[in-house]
C-alpha cells in the first residue's frame, strides 16, 4: 500500500468550507479511481491559519498514475478547491505503508 501526502493552508474562516468540499467533491472522485483505498484529512489550527494534511492510500503507483497523470508527484488541486486555500503544495510525497493498525472500536470522525 502506498500513502500519498499533500498539505495546504487556509484561514480559520475557510477551513470548514474546504473540508466540506473534500467530503462532497473530492471523496466521490477518488472512489471512482481503481486502486484507491481510502483517505485521511488532518487539520492543525495555528494562530491565524489552519494547516491541512491529506493522506490518500493506494494499492499501487499505477493506481496513483491513473489519478494524477504521468507526473505522479504533481498535486491534483481543482480550481474549486483552490479558492478555499491560501497556499498549497504543488508536489506530493509517496511512502510505502509499513504498519497501520486501529482497534475495531476506534472512534471515527465525520
What does the pLDDT read at residue 45?
Answer: 94
**pLDDT averaged over every residue in the chain:** 93
Identify whether the C-beta of residue 81 lies closer than 8 Å to the C-beta of residue 26.
yes
- Per-residue pLDDT reduced to its tens digit, 56-73: 999 999 999 999 999 999
Domain harbouring 60, CATH code:
3.30.70.100
This prediction has a pTM of 0.89
What does the pLDDT read at residue 100?
Answer: 86
- Per-residue pLDDT reduced to its tens digit, 9-37: 999 999 999 999 999 999 999 999 999 99
Asked if the structure places residue 105 within a domain, the reply is no
Asked if the structure places residue 53 within a domain, the reply is yes
Structural domain count, the chain: 1
Query: How many whole angstroms separate alpha carbon 21 and alpha carbon 29?
Result: 11
Asked if the structure places residue 110 within a domain, the reply is no
**Banded model confidence at residue 110, pLDDT cuts 50, 70, 90:** low
Amino acid at each position: 500500500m502506498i500513502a500519498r501526502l499533500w498539505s495546504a493552508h487556509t484561514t480559520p474562516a475557510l477551513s470548514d468550507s474546504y473540508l466540506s468540499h473534500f467530503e462532497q467533491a473530492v471523496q466521490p472522485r477518488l472512489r471512482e479511481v481503481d486502486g484507491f483505498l481510502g483517505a485521511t484529512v488532518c487539520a492543525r489550527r495555528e494562530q491565524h491559519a489552519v494547516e491541512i494534511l491529506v493522506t490518500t492510500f493506494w494499492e499501487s503507483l499505477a493506481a496513483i498514475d491513473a489519478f494524477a497523470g504521468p507526473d505522479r508527484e504533481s498535486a491534483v488541486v481543482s480550481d474549486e478547491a483552490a479558492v478555499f486555500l491560501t497556499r498549497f503544495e504543488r508536489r506530493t510525497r509517496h511512502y510505502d505503508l509499513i504498519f497501520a493498525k486501529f482497534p475495531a472500536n476506534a472512534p471515527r470522525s465525520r
